[in-house]
Amino acid sequence: MVATIKEFEKDFLKAIRDGNAAIFAGAGLSRPSGYLDWRSLLKEIADDLGLDIDKEEDLIAVAQYHYNEKGQNRNKINQKILEEFTKEVKSNENLDILTRLPIQTYWTTNYDTLIEDSIEDKNRKPDIKITQENLALNVSDRDAIIYKMHGDVRTPENAVVTKDDYETFNLNRQLFSTNLQGDLISKTFLFIGFSFEDPNLAYILSRIRILLGENRRDHYCFFKKVQPTDYKNDEDYKYDLIKQELKCNDLKRYSINAILVDDYSEITEILRGIEFKTKLKNIFISGSAEEYGIFEKYDATNFMYNMSKELISQDFRVISGFGIGVGSYIINGALEEIYDSKFKKIDDYLTLKPFPQVSSSHKDLKELWTEYRKNLIYESGVAIFIFGNKKNDTGIINAAGVFEEFEIAKEYNKIIIPIGSTGYAAKEILQEVKSNLDKYWYLKDSIQILENESNGQKLINEIINILSHVLSYNIEIK
């Protein structure tokens, strides 16, 4: 049975939001960066044995044969691992997306360091588990755990590579099996970078079947569809098509749902969509106010306070740069809702990053503010614009910073909700949006309310309606 992309998105997004998502990475995740797959890694080893690697299906047996023929010496295999997986390579988009997502658990059979390097590049702290001894020690303030169940390039002599290594896995690495069992029961896994012919997948699946018993949770795996254009004759194509269908059905024994794609680039598109929709729950509120225009101050502050409170109650995360005349009311509303809710934690629902007033680096303060804005908006999926004015020597003017945040939100393809009735920069932003409603399709039924409504509660209700509308749609990511 094959899972639909929509089913996968729904389940995996929920798992991410609940903190129960996990990644299991195979060699295919590292290949776009320039590392070898198993077959390429063992080609020279097979040549030494007089074997044609392209004819071999059991690649682990090839490694074992070499070990046997060399008098139980695996030095060449170790050297090959060291040479191939210490080359200078770049990250790749799938890896970057997976390590940007708020996922805390990564399992891999790869020897390279791409996952941990990519996590560190995202300013996240990895806790890397390579040996059983590592499992007893925890890195403080870790953001992600990486289980390298088959070893690491830095200690190739301990890598799981031969049949002996696989067959004695539970003797030498029993605690990895125990941890994997717990995660498979409690988390939703995405297996990525595996092919049907991957020897690691076959061995992992055999362990999963034993580990899980009847305690099964749905997991997912990407595979490329068998395509007629990949075959010289129709008979071979039909044969492999039947075989693929049977293998997909067989994966259900392990509670793994196969997702078939026409091209590997589709996987990247799906992951982009997952990242985009994960961020839709993060709401950046842009605005500043020395005055509140047609709103009485009491009504304006109540509107901001209650809007923030309602967003938190609907399980959105509020992001604020603490704009003058706006930030304190946004924060107070968010905090009250968090404190009133038994299981909500501040760090999960509120991000507050006041703008620095003095530059402590070589950067100009304006340049530093732009960087701050980009970071705040990048982490969000939605930008709400309210008021947007400031005082200068001539009086009250529209806030240039709010306009800059609008431009950044457009550049990052964020969902934009301008509350034009609050006036000032927000009003001008609404006028631009209103002139291009094909792009801002999600506002077509709301634009009049956003432009004219002065009742705070009605505006809040409309904001929630827009967000619900966006979350329910399958948005194309560009």
Please report which helix (H) or strand (E) contains residue 260, including its range.
Answer: strand 256-261
Instruction: For residue 140, give every residue at least 6 positions away whose Cβ sits within 8 Å of its Cβ, in sequence order, or none.
Output: none
State in Å, rounded, how far the first CA of the chain is from the last one. Answer: 30
406 neighbors 384 (Cβ within 8 angstroms): no
* Distances, alpha carbon 213 to alpha carbons 115, 184, 209, 216, 256, in Å: 30, 11, 6, 7, 14
In terms of DSSP bridges, do strands 382-385 and 282-286 run parallel, antiparallel, or are they unpaired? parallel
Residue with tokens 């890195």: 139
221 neighbors 190 (Cβ within 8 angstroms): yes
**In degrees to the nearest 10, what's the CA dihedral of 58, 64, 65, 68?**
-170
In sign, the C-alpha dihedral spanning 437, 439, 445, 448 is negative
* Distances, alpha carbon 39 to alpha carbons 48, 100, 199, 241, in Å: 14, 30, 10, 22
Instruction: For residue 166, give every residue at least 6 positions away whose Cβ sits within 8 Å of its Cβ, in sequence order, or none.
Output: 60, 160, 203
Residue with tokens 């530093």: 368
Distance CA(118)–CA(461), nearest Å, equals: 40
112 neighbors 30 (Cβ within 8 angstroms): yes
Residue with tokens 């030095």: 75
Query: Sheet of 282-286: strands edge to edge?
Result: 350-352, 317-320, 282-286, 382-385, 415-418
The answer to whether 362 is a known catalytic residue is no
- Backbone torsions φ then ψ of 238, nearest 5 degrees: -65, -35
As given in the structure block, the two tokens for residue 65 are 């044969």
Query: Which residue(s) pair with 221 in the sheet?
Result: 191, 258
Catalytic: which of 150, 219, 362, 469?
A: 150
Residue with tokens 């008979």: 235
DSSP-based three-state secondary structure for 399: coil
Instruction: For residue 415, give every residue at least 6 positions away whose Cβ sits within 8 Å of its Cβ, in sequence order, or none.
Output: 280, 381, 382, 383, 442, 470
* Residues acting as catalytic residues: 150
